[in-house]
Structure 1
Amino acid sequence: MTQLVFIENNKIVTDSLTVAEVFGKPHDKVIRDIEVQIEKLQQANEIEFSAANFGESTYTNERGRTYRKINLSEDAFTIVAMSYVTPEAMKMKVKFIQEFKSMREHIEQNKVKPLSKDQALVTVLRTTADLVEDTQAIKEEQHEIRKLITQVNQKVEQQITLDHGEQRRLQKCIASKVYELSDDPQTRPKLFKEIYCEIKDRFGVASYKDVKRQELQSAINYIENWVPRKVS
């Protein structure tokens, strides 16, 4: 037998298709019976009751076509089924009523019971403790991320070479030192060559342009205190 009642839109209902199948009636006849009862309710000014207990819906048949059906609450079913009075119909009405009752009991049993004040307090404290742990874990993770970013930035900074302005500053420092050491135009080229070679050796670079930015001041200090091996 088809399931007599079911949940739809958080309400316990049956529908015109189920009523038609169980009572052995054509679906269009059941739809007409329902419409008659809705008309009578409207005539009795029970419009709110009608709207709350009868609901328009649809179903799709095996050919994929969509047709109308009507959902009924337990009260709506009771009103519609009043006219079904054969012994067999009475048995079916009892089954429907039992199914509605069983579904209500099932829902009640599975409802979450309200917590006592003490239980609610314990729940709040546990939730708070979990949030504190989560917050601490997030802080620790953020701290590790910041450390990693700092380390990466430091490594990147260590690899940055002199920009054009810093190269010019180093060149001027070198020229100043060379002119300080010698007034001889023939000696100066040798001094330039020697000091540039020693800078490359000292800082492990292929050119003075490759000196790392963070070593610029060290290079300047080295140049200011540089003494040539031999001045000729």
Structure 2
Amino acid sequence: MTQLVFIREGQAVTDSLTVAREFGKDHDHVMRDIRQQLKKLQEADETEWSVANFGEAQYQHPQNKQWYPKFDMTEDAFAIVAMSYTTPEAMKMKVKFITEFKRMRNELTINTQALSPELQMFNQMFQAVAKVELENSQLKNDVNAVKQQLDNQAEILALNPTEWRKKVRSLLNKIAQKRGGHDAYSEVNSESYELLEQRGNCKLGIRQENIKKRMALEGAAKSKINAISKLEAIAEDSRLTEIYLAIVKEMAIKHSVKVD
């Protein structure tokens, strides 16, 4: 049986990754459910309770080694989040979680009460030291995550303006995947063009049509004319190219995408 509940800082907790795995849900969806409940708790002026029962943390993905957010949850926090999971299978899983929380609580109580007063004192000291070590470890992980992000940003900012088209397409595709999949590429692409038109005070559609008209007058093949994109209109103007590169870099950094 996989572990549903574990001990952290002397308290029985589970986390969003475990909930997603056991309930057969995407982790992003569980994170969304948690944030919705946190928003409702904030609206109900229960922020202090939220802080005591939800702990935001990070985990490292085993494949790409990137760091992503997760939530640790007490039994009460788990109950609030899982409240909306009402299928028969979900009800069975909630019973398993609650049973495991109870077992962990009993185990903690028995283990602590069985200690002599001196050992209980040492246990409290150990828990305090362990908490400090955990915080230091988390701080180290946070520093490494920030360093990795800064390194990636440096790579993005160093994109060569003379060899930019392939990288731009790659970055926009990755941003689209962050937003829900390849189907979002058209939306992301359009957004980048809209930002360029606002910042560069231009109309890419008009520039695109002007290029097509010029090519038609020069006798270019119709297939080549139809293949002219807004990217060609950007490439014709070095000022627009620089502005567009800056926009795509900003979007990439905002969405924490990585340069190949």
**TM-score w.r.t. length of structure 2:** 0.43
Higher-Rg member (1/2): 1
